[in-house]
Amino acid sequence: MPKKKRVWFSDVPATDKLKLHTFYLNDIEIAQNSKKNGRIVGEIAFQLDRRILAHVFPGITRLYGFTVSNIPEKIKQVSMKSLDGSVDEKKYRAMTQRYLDLTARLGKMGYRTEVHPVFSEFLINTYGILKQRPDLTANPVHNSPAELRKMVIDIVPSKFLGDTLLLLNCLCELSKEDHKALFAW
């Protein structure tokens, strides 16, 4: 019998105490008819991660190897001077401050840096992401927070729903700030 892969994240993101729960990937069952729409759930998590990374590392277009989970290590790496290997303190402080400011704002919404980056990766790996850029004129649902909320509620199992809706709320907030579509490509 193959070993089950464990994942964990908060069950109630709005509480003061962080409650971690362990679930197994086998606990999620994606119905065949909702598999296509399930990619939207993964896309929500992916777009939020990309927005966070773009905010912390502006101007860096190739973010291969960058994840929200490894931002502190990547800040150190990106702020290293190539000539002598020393840290560019100004660049390091600027990126760190952007990261702390952003996580503080998202934290007010319930986002936890020790929980939600891993949960986002879990959603992306479980549901996948959209295969092609959505046509917002033909299908405006991809830019409608209310419609996306309905889809998430229909697709995501109840034990993952709170955290998934939290990620959507965070994405909506960042989308308002940068004045881009929810699914910015």
In angstroms, the CA 93 to CA 40 distance is: 35
Give the model confidence (pLDDT) of 57-93 as tens digits: 998 888 889 999 999 999 999 999 888 888 999 999 9
Structural domain boundaries enclosing 116:
31-178
Residue 124 lies in a domain: yes
In the three-class reduction of DSSP (H, G, I as helix; E, B as strand; rest coil), residue 6 is classed as strand
- Residue-level pLDDT at 83: 82
pTM of the model: 0.79
Residue 21 counted as domain residue: no
Q: What's the rounded Cα separation, in Å, for the pair 101 and 105?
A: 6
Position 127 in a domain: yes
Residue 15 is assigned to a structural domain of this protein: no
> Does residue 73 lie in a domain region?
yes
Number of domains into which the chain is organized? 1
Lowest mean pLDDT among 54-58, 95-99, 134-138: 134-138
Tell me phi and psi for residue 11, to 5 degrees.
-95, -35
Whether 84 is in a domain gets the answer yes
In the structure, what pLDDT confidence band is assigned to residue 141 with cuts at 50, 70 and 90?
Answer: low
Tell me whether residue 5 is in a domain: no
Task: Report the pLDDT value the prediction gives residue 37, as an integer from 0 to 100.
Answer: 78
